[in-house]
Structure 1
């Protein structure tokens, strides 16, 4: 049995490896879209790449850029414009909450210029992702605070702070100066204690009405509730999927009964209520609060 370990054997081992290299798996590990040089550096041969394109497993979206058929459109847009994904377009890739999906890609573009249909963000202050074409998490948050409507920006940042990715002061240090006033105002809406995106929206909505709002309040024999308004109105917001089982409905009834027994009033709203029917929500809240002397 040959034990040759010289240059010829090493070349043969390299060739054998590239023969079994899975181009789809390799591209998937790079975010489903990559440049030719990146794929070649990781051991893929041009012949294997061309064969995968021929079979339709991989698509050549432009010269020097290859993608899987299901590649994230924002990643494709980034590589075809020599850019990086950020803001709302990068939120999902970092596992952040997002109130609305972006209608256009948010990118940082070379030379400060992007196509008119793209949302361009200029500044980058932290290292970018080493594997995917996205900016660093802190820059995603900073760009969101500058770009998105205040409540939507607060939703993105709230999820990151709640998870412990960073702290408010770290972001605030990067938002000094007159040009950052809008971003600082959006950051003021963030508390870091909400358990869902819709809680952030509801908290801002209630506080803007001038009500005294307590969040994440623990009540004996009831547990934690989302909000207590004016000291006696408990408001909870959630999606229907969290309370669709018989066990969940029974638990809700027990909680509601205990709240009434303790002197609280109670309202529950779903995602659609808080997102699309805010006037109706506030009218119901006003109606309930008007039945008692408000603090």
Structure 2
């Protein structure tokens, strides 16, 4: 479920607040809920919370938050967007935002060291376009995280992220344009490519890559029985884009292959792409798709075969 913006209501349950903030709260956040400093000390002594660094406390903290706080920052950019429910590009780095004040301070007292150097993932210190406010929570809100992603993500990744934000109703396109207002004007043209229909980042990537080749595509096309397909090229070439989850969801795997069979029975051509093929084998995928198009097989023959009712789903 998408994480809602944190509203520090005095009567808000502390457990609920910890969960919404990746299991990490600052002293200021705790005090705002009505907890006293003496109560914080008692919770520490009783082992109900742990001190991660000066002014920051954890209760079953998420590893992302532990490492971000250890670096003197917060979870931001692509990582924060994912925690809020958006699609995340493949990127092995951990994205941490550090405030300008912290950036100007060399070193930090009480910095935690998480794991050995070999165990620690690579991280990048992100900075948003526009204002870089002080770190007030372990998890950045959507706007700041998105403004950081404008620097870290490439054009294709940004469109896929924005597609997911709009599709999942986490933000509107108007909000995204407003959040991107401080980015260079030359780097905002990608917003015109955002559609919001795509149900996965891989689907957005394939749409953009085919568009760059001059291939017209339709997204999330409704077929018979209300069934939708990811991408339709021409009249009959269906391209389905699987996510990583499809590799482990046996029920979805069986259902999708059943629909593929039924589409083929009606005369459609189906190309189903795995996450790995889209990311690591795109040149070969591109060649195969273009081969189908160049033969004209994406169009119905002059005499289209009569539709037949597929077998029961």
Alignment TM-score > 0.5, same fold: yes
Q: 1:49 to 1:276 in 2, by over 3 A?
A: same
Cα displacement string for residues 160-208 of structure 1 (whole angstroms, at most 9, x for unaligned residues): 11123333234334545882322x1332332100011221112112222
Give 1:187's aligned residue.
191
TM-score normalised to the size of structure 2?
A: 0.68
Tell whether 2:93 aligns with 1:103.
Answer: yes
SS of the aligned residue for 1:142 comes to helix
For residues 67 and 19 of structure 2, what CA distance do their matches in structure 1 show? Answer: 13
Give 2:305's aligned residue.
none
Give 2:250's aligned residue.
244
Q: 1:219 to 1:33 in 2, by over 3 A?
A: closer
The number of residue pairs the alignment matches comes to 268
For residues 25 and 214 of structure 1, what CA distance do their matches in structure 2 show? Answer: 42
Tell whether 2:44 aligns with 1:39.
Answer: no
Aligned equivalent of 1:119, options 105, 123, 126: 126
Is the 8 Å Cα contact of residues 237 and 298 (structure 2) preserved in structure 1?
Answer: no
SS of the aligned residue for 2:295 comes to coil
5+ long unaligned stretches in structure 2: 1-12, 107-122, 300-313
TM-score normalised to the size of structure 1?
A: 0.72
For residues 44 and 195 of structure 2, what CA distance do their matches in structure 1 show? Answer: 49
Quote how far apart the aligned CAs of 1:101 are.
4.8
Q: 1:74 to 1:148 in 2, by over 3 A?
A: farther
Quote how far apart the aligned CAs of 1:60 are.
2.0
5+ long unaligned stretches in structure 1: 1-21
Tell whether 2:144 aligns with 1:139.
Answer: yes
* Structure with higher RCO (Cα < 8 A, 6+ apart): 2
Cα displacement string for residues 229-263 of structure 1 (whole angstroms, at most 9, x for unaligned residues): 23331111114348733x9636633x334433443
Structure with bigger gyration radius = 1
Quote how far apart the aligned CAs of 1:98 are.
0.7
Give 2:207's aligned residue.
203
Cα-Cα RMSD: 3.8
1:151-170 matches, within 5 Å, as 151-170=156-175
Give 1:172's aligned residue.
177
